[in-house]
Structure 1
Amino acid sequence: MITNSFSSGQQDPKHASGIKTESETSVHKLVKINNDYLMNELYLQSLSSGKRLTELEPGNANFNYRYGVALNQTSKYLEEPITYLKKAAEKTSSKADMFNPNEKSAPTDAIYLYALALHRFGEIDEAIDNYKKFIAVAGNKHPLYNQAALNLTQAENAKNTIDNKEIKELVPLNTSINTNTSEFAPIVSFDGTNLYFTSGRPWTKDNKENQIDPVTGTYYEDIYVSSLVDNEWTAPEMIGFCSPSENEASISVSVDERRVYIYNSETGNGDIYYSNFENGKFNQIKKLNNDNVNTEDWQTHYTVSPNGKMALFTSNNPKGFGGLDIYMITKNADNTWSAPVNLGPEINTKYDEDAPFISFDGKTLYYASNNERSIGGFDIFKAEWKDGKFINSENLGTPVNSTYDDLFFSITADGLTAYISSFRKGGHGELDIYQVIFNESNSTNSVLKGRIYLTDGYETIPENIAMQLKCIDCSDEEIITLLPRIRDGKFYSVLEKCKKYELKYINSVSGKEIAIQNFSTNCEETFESIEKELGIEVDENREISVSQLYTLRGSVFDKETNAKLEGAEIEVQDKNGKTLYSVYTRKDGTYVSNDFKGLKLNSNTTCKLIINKPGYISVSKDVAFVAGSDRYIDIEPIGIEKSKAGKDLGKVMVLNTIYYDLNSSYLRKDAKKELDKIVQAMNLNPNIVIELGSHTDCREDDEYNQWLSDRRAMRAAEYIKKRIKNGDARITGKGYGETQLLNNCGCEEADDSNCSEEQHQMNRRTEFIIVKE
């Protein structure tokens, strides 16, 4: 069993089955009442009489033991039992009869329970001392001897544990998720936006209150879901199939979130159930129809790998290694499941293994175990998939693991965020849910993140749309069928590196093709997210057609340092030069435009981007695209340069060489085309003042070269002046002749040089030097 704290907690007073006049009742009567509760394991109900006994006789080790035992099973806070168990452990006897009202000593068990309470609370040195004391006093025939020996090993592990350097921090979730009752079994969606969990909190549905479990005295447990909006978890919503008089516990969720798997203890020794999302809601739960999983043994957990080809479940099958073991089944070619296979000694021990979770790429198994490598109770472990089995199991260390139970690890596809449930010092009460934030992703996967969205006002994603994903150049020609999440149309799949893919959207009822998108994965050993979106509309006959919106996305960087630039303005203009809107780059230098609406499929569209950032030279980029099936139009990264005196604007704008006919200063058509780029740049940057300098090579005499360069500079400057605002004040032309050669190609006599034509060409140039920003 994982922990009694799953169904622990303080009882609501109006439901309590307490003692009405205990203050006036004799000690003997109180002991009798308390005995009845304890013998029936009604620990919560025993608290009132147990506490009263400690008040009447504070030094009575037996009474402190009784109350400490009850607190150990029910307390919301780890420190509460310690005071009472300490008093009990100070006076013990192997012959003590705790049910005798005249007994003043506590059973030897009190030393063990005191050590356990200290261990859970993190008082490791004192816990170790008391474990050793109990082992010495009790002897190896005591029923708790083996458990005490295991706990001692775990406590000694806790003294030597090392922080996991891959983890940045561990954060408890907010009070809309965590309450003073138990919250456990968190399952995060692979994109990190939905969190399913179980909680025994009070609720009202259809004017019906959920009820109190008569055995535990706590509210029945139900399954909730919360969404991440603006980096905050929303108020949880209970899933519709939950009953006010039964426990339902979530154990796993399918990738498309159309199926929830549930543990139900109402049949057998505990079996696996599920509920499918259909017609806008989760159906009533059904027992999983697999006799290899649901047996006469105790099954606590079941999870299916993201690709649907493997499932893991836990069972206390007596043929296993001991306690709960993890078993694997795989899907056959005919869509049936194989016989179970025990994961073997790499994973399973003679202790309990529970709550398996398979990473998005199927390469890592996370699970909980209370084995000899734990630091207290259940710890989270991970193992890697290699050669058809999970191997190399290792403890995740602190801060993920604590000195009490840590279970139900689940992690996002990018490997950056995980969630666990844990009963530890400083919590809200009992089991709480914690977020595990990693420093960086260890994932090297390529992941498809897709989304179907509606453009016609239809309220929900139709359930009859599906995607077929095919790797075009993979050895495995299998076509994978994907289904979108109904709540937001998102879908996911892991991809192979360095491969080409086809993503086909179909009507899953009629088989009609809706659209096709093609893409490739990169060959780098880093995490890659490939985003694909398709806009659709649904007619009155529920026929689906493409109704795509189109979005430009790209990035801006500093051309000189390659640094990504935040806060650069991307001004989007239509083909006529009318400004439509502006967006700004984010911290990583990326931007996403507003949607282009109303474009017909396969139509040609053009627009212009103006990139502005204070201190930088503004530039423009013409964009042309075909309105195809892909929503996102990826623009090549745009580099911009800082505006400073002395910089050549021509080099910034990447001008081609401005040619003149021999011995002529008249502007050719190809020269005007290049000068128009300067005109555009100066109109985009109205504060820039430039000097246009014209240079010749050394051939011809000095006086002629000076005259020719003056004429060419004047004509080019005049061309620009007429086409920019305030041109007379912003551009001047100056000829330099052969006075500023860029190389050693001077001429001692006219036409006398050993340089090549290419070397002379370097000196025949036009420069546009910024003299004022």
Structure 2
Amino acid sequence: MMRIWFVLFSLVVLVVVRTGQPILAGVDNDVLKKADKAFAAQQFALAADLYVQVLQHKPAHKLAAYRLGLCYLELSEPSKAKRYLHKAYELDPLVAEDILVAIGDAHHLASDFEEAITYFRKELARAARRDMENIALLQKRIYECEAGIVLSELPPVAEVANAGAGINSELSDYVPVLLPGDTAMVYTTRRLSANGLAAGVEQMRISRLKNGEWQPSEQFLQSESKLQHHAVVSVSPNGQQLYTYYSGKGGGLFCLKWQGSDWSTPERLGKPFNRGAAELSVHVTDDGKFAFFSSDREGGYGGLDLYVCYKKTDGTWSEALNLGPNINTSFDEDAPFADVTTNTLYFSSRGHNSIGGFDIFKSRISSSEWSKAENVGMPVNSPFDDIYFTLDNSLKRGYFSSDRPGGFGAKDIYSINF
């Protein structure tokens, strides 16, 4: 019996020596396998719970710590991500090829901009010179952190608050669209609907403002199937046309018209819209004269660009005009919102001096020329995706969507008080 135990112990030591990673026995090993399977399937919340269990029994399991850190990055919990990615790095600086980038991303998302730059520069120093794509990515991250340092030193531009449980859920809620009068909001969600549509399918909900609070929402046109798989993007000034985006086959930008008691069947917008592979949003100005929209059509500056067209005397739209380099970059620009009172265009971009992901920018037109895009500042913008900005009629309150930490779900709608 002593010989058998000695042989088993020797095998365990051999595995540790050869792999540098202690094995897990029995139930621990089963938990690790389940965690790795959930991680591979991108079920990050489940994987995180399982990796925590692994580390409770094996605190020095470097791969579990590394993957747990990545899970928390995906779950928009950068503080937890920092903890476990640093732990994995301390256990083995070579635990993964991208460990320095992962740590930098965690600090970046936690707004630790200077610390993030340190790790991005470490990775940049060891990057192969011929790997131009990776070098460009690291430089972009550093520029974003440098922009974050500058903007964080400025006074806050507004008060930002979550729009509340009446609108937001544990899943994704985004693209706030105020109906005329500002007392009702239609928005897009990916939650499970009453008619059985699975979570993850885009659908619309509506919430009404009462005594300053957004009331619990309900499915928009829940008795109809016309709007299934459509995401709201904007509404016409008179509230008679609803613009949507459909991502399925034959998708693009659509319009529904109010017929007195019901909405019409969605119709795909014609020329000059829907000429690119992706056209995700459109906004018609309050005077009805101009339409701004995003498109990846040929001839742009890269990714999604913003375009404008005007309403002709015969009621049709003109050819589209690219808004130019003061607005568009080699990265994505999307979600335009124009305020004709101040001649200001608000939009979101991954370029310019974004501090990470999409940031909200503004530009004013004067003498037919758009001013250089200006970051609207913090705390409206964050290292996360901040997009789909809209203003109410008072121009003192706005709304936007963000996947920043602290919300109810993956994406939430937030209010801005200027």
TM-score strictly above 0.5: yes
* CA spacing shift, 1:182–1:27, aligned 2, 3 Å: closer
Aligned to 1:171: 161
Aligned partner (choices 97, 100, 122) of residue 133 of structure 1:
122
How many angstroms apart in 2 are the aligned matches of 1:273 and 1:83? 46
**Aligned residue type for 2:234:** S
- Are the equivalent residues in 1 in contact too, given 2:156–2:377 (CA < 8 A)? no
Higher fraction of helix: 2
Aligned to 2:177: 187
Matched position secondary structure for 1:119:
helix
Aligned partner (choices 356, 361, 367) of residue 347 of structure 2:
367
How many angstroms apart in 2 are the aligned matches of 1:58 and 1:248? 46
Matched position secondary structure for 2:373:
strand
* CA spacing shift, 1:356–1:245, aligned 2, 3 Å: closer
How many angstroms apart in 2 are the aligned matches of 1:233 and 1:327? 33
- Are the equivalent residues in 1 in contact too, given 2:347–2:389 (CA < 8 A)? yes
Aligned partner (choices 398, 405, 416) of residue 378 of structure 2:
398
* CA spacing shift, 1:281–1:63, aligned 2, 3 Å: same
How many angstroms apart in 1 are the aligned matches of 2:32 and 2:208? 54
Aligned to 2:234: 252
Deviation at 1:296, TM superposition (A): 4.6
Deviation at 1:381, TM superposition (A): 0.7
Matched position secondary structure for 1:144:
helix
- Are the equivalent residues in 2 in contact too, given 1:76–1:429 (CA < 8 A)? no
**Aligned residue type for 2:81:** P
1:325 aligns with 2:312: no
| Structure-1-length-normalised TM-score | 0.46
Q: Which runs of 5+ in 2 are unaligned?
A: 1-25
- Are the equivalent residues in 1 in contact too, given 2:157–2:376 (CA < 8 A)? no
Deviation at 1:343, TM superposition (A): 0.6
Q: How does 1:594-633 map to 2 (within 5 A)?
A: none
Q: Which one has the largest radius of gyration? A: 1
* CA spacing shift, 1:414–1:26, aligned 2, 3 Å: closer
Q: How does 1:162-561 map to 2 (within 5 A)?
A: 167-189=157-179, 191-204=181-194, 208-212=195-199, 219-240=200-221, 247-267=229-249, 271-290=252-271, 292-361=272-341, 363-438=343-418
Aligned partner (choices 133, 151, 172) of residue 161 of structure 1:
151
Deviation at 1:355, TM superposition (A): 0.6
Aligned to 2:14: none
Aligned to 2:105: 116
Aligned to 1:668: none
- Are the equivalent residues in 2 in contact too, given 1:275–1:285 (CA < 8 A)? yes
**Aligned residue type for 2:70:** V
* CA spacing shift, 1:152–1:210, aligned 2, 3 Å: same
- Are the equivalent residues in 2 in contact too, given 1:356–1:408 (CA < 8 A)? yes
* CA spacing shift, 1:61–1:342, aligned 2, 3 Å: farther
CA deviation vs aligned residue, 1:643-677 (integer Å, no higher than 9, x gap): xxxxxxxxxxxxxxxxxxxxxxxxxxxxxxxxxxx
**Aligned residue type for 1:181:** L
How many angstroms apart in 2 are the aligned matches of 1:437 and 1:318? 38
Deviation at 1:61, TM superposition (A): 3.6
Matched position secondary structure for 2:389:
strand
How many angstroms apart in 1 are the aligned matches of 2:345 and 2:128? 38
How many angstroms apart in 1 are the aligned matches of 2:176 and 2:118? 35
* CA spacing shift, 1:378–1:310, aligned 2, 3 Å: same
Q: Which runs of 5+ in 1 are unaligned?
A: 1-21, 94-104, 213-218, 439-773
Q: How many residues align?
A: 388
How many angstroms apart in 2 are the aligned matches of 1:245 and 1:193? 22
- Are the equivalent residues in 1 in contact too, given 2:235–2:243 (CA < 8 A)? yes
Higher fraction of strand: 1
**Aligned residue type for 1:401:** N
**Cα RMSD for the two superposed structures:** 3.0
CA deviation vs aligned residue, 1:195-219 (integer Å, no higher than 9, x gap): 2221222331xxx32214xxxxxx4
1:86 aligns with 2:66: no
- Are the equivalent residues in 1 in contact too, given 2:203–2:227 (CA < 8 A)? no
